[in-house]
Structures are given as structure tokens and as C-alpha cells.
Chain A
Amino acid sequence: MKMDNSKIKLQAASPPLDLKAMAEPNPNSDSRREFLRNVLSGATAATVLMVFGPGATAFSKGAKKSSKAQHQFAYVININNCIGCGNCVRACKRENNVPAAQFRTWVERYVTTKKGVYVESPDGALKGFEKANAEVRAAAKRSFTVPKMCNHCDDPPCVQVCPVGATFKTEEGFVLVDHGHCLGCAYCVQACPYGARFINKDIHKSDKCTWCYHRVKAGKLPACVTVCPNKARLFGDLNDPDSEVAQVFEEDQWMVLKPEMHTDPTCYYVGLPREVV
């Protein structure tokens, strides 16, 4: 299936700012002292505005953009576009050799009824979904499918608890596991509120979605994004204002999973129903 990913740019549209040059005092300015005074007063005012100003919360979310990294990757899942085909799950399994019955990504189907919520993810939706049973269908009010994966949190509890620092967050936003150091203690598995981590049965080490780091570094998109037929999964660079993820972010209609956990995910959901956990 041919995909139009032309809008998803992995390279920053504009060259990075030359901070060093900016820090150099203008030889035409009055004096070095005046320059320092201006810098200090400016910095102080900016700090006060950042912390106490009306846009304080918004800035904290946007702080990712101010990182020194050239790219700030983010992932967007549009629930309205997901058809529950399971292509993404299959592609992920193939791309990353994920063992059977373990998942770097999976898809859930929710059917809401008057009596409650019916949720299932048969084998992670590896083969998509069959029709829900007749009783559920008869009582159904609404149905939707929700892809899940590692949220690559900005404040990841898995990174916090790793006793040897084998799991870490890169400046570009990836939460990764260094399999050369992982002890396989599973503390990170416990700490993840999203059930995104597991101890890989084949290698006995912690495993999870990497946003296909190896592909992204080669200028490609994550496997799940590539195979999604309805653009339910988007991946791109928040530093690139033209990227689809940046546009979603700008529209400010995104939500995250389990916000009460305060992990600050960088996997953003569009159209996320309240029933989703």
C-alpha cells in the first residue's frame, strides 16, 4: 500500500539557532557590563513570566521544543481514524522480533453499553477483531478501537526506577532500553502505568516500543506508522512546524492516557473517549 508521508518530515525545516553567536556581545554595544545587565534582566523577567505567567502550563508542555536536540519527536494516535485492522501490531512484531503473546503495541476495542464497557484485545489485535458477541452488539451504544504503546513519557517512571540506568530518555524524546546493561529485574515493568513494558521471553531483558529508533535514525518512519492505512498513527518532529504532529499539537485538541499519573507522555491522542484507560 502506497503511503503519502510527504508531510511527515523528519528533518527540521529551519536550521538550528546558533546559540553561540547569539551569546557573543555585539562589538558595537556600549560595554560588556551593559550587555550582561541586559541579559540578566531579560532572563529574570523571562523566568518570572515562565513560572508565574498565564502561559506557565502551556510553556511547560512546549518546553520540549526548547531542548538543545535538533529533533523533538512525538507520536500522535487519532482514534477517529483507527479501524482496528491490526496492521500496526503485525508490522511491529515483524520489525522488532517481538515474542508471541508479548506486545510493543496492541489495539483495544471498546464497546460501550448501558450496563458498562466491554473491552477486548484478542492477542493484541494481531489478527484484527472479529464481531463482538451478539449480546454485546445488541446493547452497544458506541464502539471504537484504540492503539496502545509506550508513551515515551517526559517524566518516565520506568527510567526513574531502573536500578542500573539501563533505560533512559534521549534528548530527542525516545525512551530506550540498553540491553547491554538491563538486569531483567522487571522493576520498570511494575513502574509503567500503561502496561507497555514486558520481560522479553527470548532474551530475558526488559522490552518495549522504541518508536523504531533504528528506522527513524535511518530517516524512515516507525513500522506501525508506515503500515497504518488510515493515518491513525502519525510520527514526526515537533521542532518542524510543518509536520503533522506539530500541527496536531498546535491545535491543542490532544489528550494523553492516565494524566493522573503525571508521567507527561509524548504520545498524544486525538479523539480519545473517556472510557479509555
Chain B
Amino acid sequence: MNPMNLPADSLVNYIFPNNAEVAWSIMIVIYPYITGLVAGAFVVSSMYHVFKVKEFKPIANFALIASFCFGLFAGLPLLVHLGQPQRAWEIYVTPHTTSAMSVFGYVYSGYLVLLMVEIWIIYRKYFIEMANKTGGLWKLVWTVLALGVTEYHPESEKYDRKFASFLAGLGIPWACILHGYVGFVFGSVKAVAWWATALQPFIFLSSAIVSGMAMLFLMYAFIMWRRRQDYDYVMVKKYAISLWIAFLLDYALEVLELVFVSYERGLHWALIKPLLSGPLWESYALGQMGFLSIAPILVLGVVSLLDVRGKALVYFTSLASLMLVLQVLVMRFNVVVGGQLISKSGRGFVDYEFEFFTKEGVLTAMIIFAMPFVAYYIISRFLPIFERKSLQLRPDE
């Protein structure tokens, strides 16, 4: 009578009639994912600007611009998801402060402004240079970007550098709040057993850092390959070690959550156990916690601990980064959709099928997800993102 492993002594898969469909689908999966990329990429940038990790200097501005590009579109999936998107501004003007979601608008917008100001400070010198070098319409554009100031003194550089460091320092806790807060939006919902854990903000934050770092590395590797530019192997080595440590911490938290819930044998485990061994077996047990975690830990472990050099270093780190980018994406899916698979009836699981061509379907998600990369491409046409001095063209160039 009951081939499925169902919770609460149930003989049939009974779900509440209003639970037949998941209310939060792919859009809400990619929303924390893109937000995470913003936070993760920013942390890389701050490694140089705040903590003065000199190996990361060549990619500090790149990380900042990438973070900004992801930030531009982090709120878009939410907007697409809303039943009444034209009212989204109400979250700014009439926030209901008991809601964990209500101050998201302020935290997110504030962070975007911080990123913009930091980028502007860092590129102010370049804007002024271009304003003085070009003529006609372009001169006007660059002068507007320089806010009309066309002189740049050594003193200015000193102050700009200080201010950029200050903003980068301020950005770290803000990035943590932004993403930890996204975790809180989920972790504080007591009605969803799979979400309700105080560890959620930390898990979201640490996985954000991992996904941001991994995505940034893939972008770096691709851009260097495309431009036929030499890789900065010293940086890559340090990056791989940092990514390895970041993921070990992230994985430890994810394992801790699982171990705690299963060992506690509490109210939630009665629902979570059949979820993990049933509908989420492939994506969670085999994917997120299995192959997509173990393999990058091993690969990055080899890269970090052994004397891996040259192209192999880049290939291995790219491979691990690709798996980590997927790991975090699958993790977001497992949390957001997985949590809703347990019907509020506590006696069954909701069926979930991917939709492709609907408003909140996979196609929309792919288009939204492509936008930050398009934005990056456009910005890179106008701004020198990688330091010119660090460019070492290969012999065939």
C-alpha cells in the first residue's frame, strides 16, 4: 500500500490541497545564489583592499566589478517572482519591520550604492585621465563620470586609496549581513522543518563566499584564456588554498546541521529523514553532500598541499571551481525547493517538476543569470579591469 518512505505513519502521500505546488521555485533559487556571488566576489576584492593580501592585487578590481555586475541583477529574480511586481517599491516606503524580508530593500540597495561608490573612487583617476585625453562627446561622458573634477593630485590618490580601503572594510560586514540575512529569511520560518535552523545564516554566508570565489575564478580563467594572457600562477595557488579553506568551513557547517538534526531525533527529523532519503536523495545526498563536495575537497586539497604548478594548477582549480559553483547552486535548490517538498500536512511530499517556458521557468532563470556576465562584458569595454602592468602577453601575441 505504501511503497514510499513517508513521514508520520502515513499510508498515502497526503499533501494539503494548497500545497500541491511549490510557492517559491527557480526564481527564489537563483535569488540567493546571485546574492551569494555578490558577497563572495566582494570578499575576494576586500582581501587585497582591506587585508592587503598582495597576491590578490591583480584581481581586486576585477572582483569588485564582477561583484557589482552580479549585484545589479540580484534583485531581479525577486521582482519576476512577485505576483504584483509594480508594488515592489512599497517595501521601501511601508516596510513592516517585524518581517525578516522587510529591510532587504535597504540592505541590498545600500550595498549596491557602496559598491558603486567604491568602484567610482578606484576608477576616479582613470575617469579624469580619459576626460583630459579625449574630446567631443566622449570627453563629456568621462567628465560627467568624474563629476566635473578634471584635476588629480598625488594627494588625491592618497585620500582616494584611504577612502576605498574604508569602503572595502565597511563592505565586509555589509556583505556578511546581506547574505547572512538571506539565510535568516529562510532559517526563521518555523513552519518549514528543513529551513528552520539557526545555522542557516552562517551556511548561506559561507556558501556565498565559496560560490563567489569559485565563479570569480572561472571568469578569471576564461578571460585570461580568451585574451591569451598569462595566468598569475602565484595568485592562482593562493586562491586555490583560500577556496579550499572556505569550502572546508562551509562543508563543516552543512555537515554539522545534518548531524545535529539527525542526532537530535527531534520533531523535524521525522520529516527531514524521509525527505533526504526520498525526494532529495539524488540532489542532496549524492549531489550536494556527496560528489559535488567530496570531489572539490580532494582536488583542491591536492592543489593546495602538493606541488602542482603551471597549467595543471589552473585546470585543477577550474575543475574544482566548476563543481563548487554547481554545489552551491544545488544547495540553494535543495534548501529553497527541498524545504517546500515537505507538505505542511507532515504526511507527504509535494511533486516538483522543472518548468522551462513559464514566467518563473528555467529559461527566465538562464536569461537573468546571463545578465551579470553581459553587464561585465559591457563594462570591461570601457574600464581597464585587469592592471595593465600585470599583463604579460604570450609569445604568440
Contact = CB atoms under 8 A, between A and B. Distances in A.
Interface of A: 101-103, 106, 108, 113, 115-121, 123-124, 135-136, 148, 157, 159-166, 181-187, 189-199, 203-206, 260-261, 277
Contacts of B90: 164, 181, 183
6 contacts: A117-B11, A120-B14, A157-B190, A164-B94, A164-B99, A183-B84
B12 A119 contact: yes
Nearest to A124: B17
B150 interface: no
Interface in B131-182: none
B321 interface: no
A197 B18 contact: yes
Given A161-B189, A162-B99, A195 B18 contact: yes
Nearest to B188: A161
A191 B191 contact: yes
A193 B190 CA distance: 8
Nearest to A189: B23
Contacts of B347: 117, 119, 277
Interface in B12-33: 12, 14, 16-20, 23-24
Contact of B83 (A106, A162, A185, A277): A185
A123 B20 CA distance: 11
Most buried by B among A117, A164, A261: A164
B262 interface: no
B357 to A, nearest CB: 18
A113 B18 CA distance: 26
B18 A103 contact: yes
B125 interface: no
B345 interface: yes
B355 to A, nearest CB: 15
B358 interface: no
A193 B16 CA distance: 11
Contacts of B102: 163-164
Given A190-B23, A195-B19, A277-B345, A165 B14 contact: no
Nearest to A207: B18
**A106, A161, A166, most chain B CB atoms within 10 A:** A161
B11 A190 contact: no
Given A117-B347, A197-B18, A187 B101 contact: yes
Nearest to A107: B17
B100 interface: yes
A119 B88 contact: no
A136 B383 CA distance: 71
Nearest to A160: B98
B12 A120 contact: yes
B24 A117 contact: no
Contact of B14 (A102, A121, A159, A197): A121
A261 B191 contact: yes
Nearest to A187: B101
Given A161-B100, A277-B347, A204 B14 contact: no
A161 B101 contact: yes
Contacts of B94: 164-165, 181
B371 interface: no
Contacts of B16: 106, 121, 148, 194-195
A62 B91 CA distance: 35
B370 interface: no
A116 B11 contact: yes
A159 B78 CA distance: 20
Nearest to A262: B190
A203 B346 CA distance: 28
Nearest to B97: A165
B10 interface: yes
A198 B231 CA distance: 52
Nearest to B20: A101
B2 A182 contact: no
A187 B190 contact: no
Contacts of A160: 98-99
A3 to B, nearest CB: 26
B305 interface: no
B252 interface: no
B83 A182 contact: yes
